[in-house]
Chains A and B, each alone.
Chain A
Amino acid sequence: MLRLCFLLPLLATALSSCTPKSKVAREKHPLPAGVDTSKHEIGRQGGVFIDSTPGEPSTFNPLVSEDATSSGFIGLFLDSLVHNNPVTQEVEPGLATRWEIAADNKTFTFHLRPGVCWSDGHPFTADDVVFTFQAIYDPRFPNRAAFDLSVDGKKFTIEKIDDLTVRLTTPEIYAPFLETVGGVGLLPKHELESAFRDGSLLKAWNVSIAQKEPRRLLATGPFRLRSYQPAERIVFEANPHFWRADTQGVRLPYVDYLVTKLVKDANASTLAFATGQTDAEGLSPDNVAWIDQYATRYGFSVFNRGPSPNTGFIWFNQNPGKDASGKPFVPPHKLAWFTDRRFRQAISHGIDREGLVRGVLFGRGQPLWGPETPANKKWYNPNVTQYPFNPARSMELLTQSGFSLGPDQKLRDRLGNIVEFTLNTNQENQLRANMATAFKENMRDLGITVNLSFLDFGTLVGKIQDSYDYEAGMLGLTGGGDPAGGISVFSSKGRLHQWHPNQKIPATPWEARIDQLMSDQLHTLDYPTRKKYFDEVQKIMSDETPYIYLVTANAYVGLKDRWKNIRIPPLGSLVWNLDELWTPLITP
């Protein structure tokens, strides 16, 4: 056995050194007329970039994709008219080189990049763009883009001007138009038209096709699918028809292969990186603590992306409604506490956010006071009301609202009811569980009894969205991006307006004001005006504290040092410019 132990590492190195050392031969195709030239440092072709992802893509069809994992893979091979650059948060040319906005602010004319081909050599034209929108709007194929690409239920109209020009018209002024169109991966008409005709479009490009005929997943993006083995890995290779090149005319991407290991969970993914198996990994704050130890051994560095766009918050159910049997969702005396702004502010002052950051996040995070985190540079409002940890201030606010602390160290309202509530959260998230237990301890110091209830995600969502029979909840949302994405949260009609969803008319003046602001910001294209409106939304949210925001963790990226030309965005994918990435050391 002892000998075997020595043999095994040898065997391992023998196996890993079998990677093809010879340069991978690529198909040679002329660069398109409209080639986009990268302005970054010049690199060298070759190399394999390896990363890992928890979970499994469920599809490669953008009309079906509902999860971030699938969408991430689709984004590698399907390109869109424009790109949202997460580093600059600006809209950049993609498959369209330029566009004009008419004076009515509703008509957009896109000029497509000339000479671009699909990965099978078939030219990319306006027909593909029109086909994509037809497919999206077809009622036979319910999909998410159809709803993203409409205003008040009305669709956009699309027309082909010529082979390289399309015109899109929105029924009303629609602020996030370019950002939304930027997310739409364009589909190849010549490949998918038959599936469109016979109604099987949603079954096209499923995981089974990806395994058997990966080449049929045509690409306009930097990569095309080479192979997919479920629960093992996905291999992408450089798309020989990609439309970008460096200043010397070498076609991008530089890397030959992009390999993604499919692992069970974030833990396994981090482990793969820490043991040198992968090139890049998103790291949570608690793992940064130990991963540094392996940095020199495996030659990687850890980059701080700053605050993540994820928010965590606690809220109270302020729904005054009754269930079918006439029983109120929340007992009236508790509803009186929950709808009292001072009560919510007192709770907020009673939470030791610094302690949470220090203890649970190893000091790698910051307190959060509003709905956006600093990660969303374009929209974040730093001037919101803050509620630093201050139990004395909490007691002051509570006393003003008629609460008093009894000799038994229990808080009572003016009618003598003991203040006690149940906090519901989902059980799958360990970090959240730690925050919930810490919150319980903080509240005990104010004389408030918090009972914790950890539920399945399904049960929790059912309570919040359907049955409303709960007192308080704790969840997180991923923020970031355009304010338009937050309408269902901020607007009182919204489904995710969790403290009191689906209101017919706003229950409070401040909710009415938010409704107005959210609607106003949607119907202008002027950024400073939109920013002013959304800043006010954030301010109101922090003043009224329907959500008591907790903390936001910093996000980290670990990257092997052998990679050059790295642009790490504050949000979204680990590396923004995969096509420009190169390494002087070809073999891993």
Chain B
Amino acid sequence: MTLFILRRLLALLPMLFAVTLLVFALMSLAPGDFLTPVKAQRDINPALIAELQKSFGLDRPWYEQYALWLGNVLHLDFGYSWTYKVPVAQLIAQRAPATLLLSLTSLLLAWTLAIPLAVLAAARPGGWIDRITSAAAYFALAIPEFFLALLAVWMAARTGWFPIGGLTSLDHDFLSPSSQLLDIAYHLILPTLVLGLGGVAGTLRVLRANVLDVLQAEYVTAARAKGLPEKVVLFRHVLRNALNPLLSTIGYAFAGLLSGSLLVENVMNYPGLGRLVYEAFIREDQFVVLGSVVVGCSLLIIGNLLSDLALAWSDPRVRYGR
């Protein structure tokens, strides 16, 4: 078991190497570099540009730059952001909590809403709950996330019911701890709804199908025959088994924790990692991009590992190994 986990984690290293190499190569292929906007200013001296290029290492070929970066990474130094002159690890650590918080609340929303709805919908296929939820799910899956975010921002602007962007109010520092929590919760409502809606719909569809499957299993018939109340059958016997396949989606959910909300963060002005990463891509702030790719990629692989473990834990028939 430990060996299995170790092997999987070791496999992470070549993967990270390949992915960062690919992203770095692609970024160097892109025209222009971090200094392009500087070059376009009208009162800047070419000698300064040359000096800056040298100090950033941009005068060397890309593979040399990459090798240098890789060498530093082996010493756990992920480089520093050219824009902010701050170590990348520090920058990411600073922005990650906000994104993590948003991802977790929307995941929570997805599961707490989707699980009971899916069971109720599957209990009476074709019933009114089923019809309404599946229609809503079709709609929720079809509406582009960024469009929904845009509409939410506008709604907030028009009504004034919700804050527009940010995670804290201006007077946050002066509030009591409990009000501070409330303040954050208040700012989280809209982004969570926007980000969670797709999750609710997706989970609902998968889970409903699973529940329908399990309902046809013999032990369910047996449970019913025993005269157990329908509620107990549904929520104790059926749901527990129907949730199994959902465990495999934990991996995806985990992977999306830090990168899934890039678009929504950008549209909704949310102070998380997504905005940082997107800006870094646009500005070609290389080391920030590479750092975030490392984090995103590691999370994806660890997430897959977690879902494999969860599956094995819940279903003894699944064995470890290739």
Contact = CB atoms under 8 A, between A and B. Distances in A.
Interface residues of B, number: 58
A282 B284 CA distance: 28
B42 A268 contact: no
B56 to A, nearest CB: 10
B32 interface: yes
Contacts of A202: 85
Given A8-B161, A461-B39, A232 B90 contact: no
A211 B160 CA distance: 30
Nearest to B159: A9
Contacts of A230: 94-95, 271
A8 B276 CA distance: 30
Nearest to A467: B31
A457 B48 contact: no
A182 B69 CA distance: 40
Contacts of A66: 37-38, 41
Nearest to A233: B170
Interface residues of A, number: 65
Given A142-B55, A231-B271, A8 B162 contact: yes
Interface stretch (B112-120, B131-139, B175-183, B209-217): B175-183
B269 interface: yes
Interface in A208-254: 208, 211, 227, 229-233
Contacts of A208: 84, 86-87, 90
A127 interface: no
A342 B183 CA distance: 64
A556 B275 CA distance: 28
Nearest to B45: A147
B84 A206 contact: yes
Given A66-B38, A230-B95, A495-B46, A277 B164 contact: yes
A528 to B, nearest CB: 24
A349 interface: no
Contacts of B41: 66
B182 A11 contact: yes
A230 B44 CA distance: 28
Interface string B5-40: 000000000000000000000000011110011111
B85 A9 contact: no
Interface of A: 5, 8-9, 11-12, 15-16, 18-20, 48, 50, 56, 58-59, 61, 64, 66, 142-144, 146-148, 153, 202-203, 206-208, 211, 227, 229-233, 259, 261-264, 268, 271-272, 274-275, 277, 456-459, 461-462, 465, 477-478, 484-489, 495-496
Interface of B: 30-33, 36-48, 51-52, 55, 83-87, 90, 94-95, 98, 153, 157, 160-171, 173-175, 179, 182-183, 186, 266, 269, 271-272, 275-276, 279, 284
Give the 3 A-B CB pairs with smallest separation, nearest first.
A458-B32, A231-B271, A147-B45
22 contacts: A9-B161, A12-B161, A12-B186, A15-B169, A15-B171, A15-B179, A15-B182, A66-B37, A146-B48, A147-B45, A148-B43, A206-B86, A207-B85, A207-B86, A231-B98, A264-B266, A268-B165, A458-B36, A462-B36, A465-B39, A478-B42, A495-B46
Given A12-B163, A143-B48, A459-B31, 5 more contacts: A15-B171, A153-B47, A229-B271, A233-B166, A459-B32
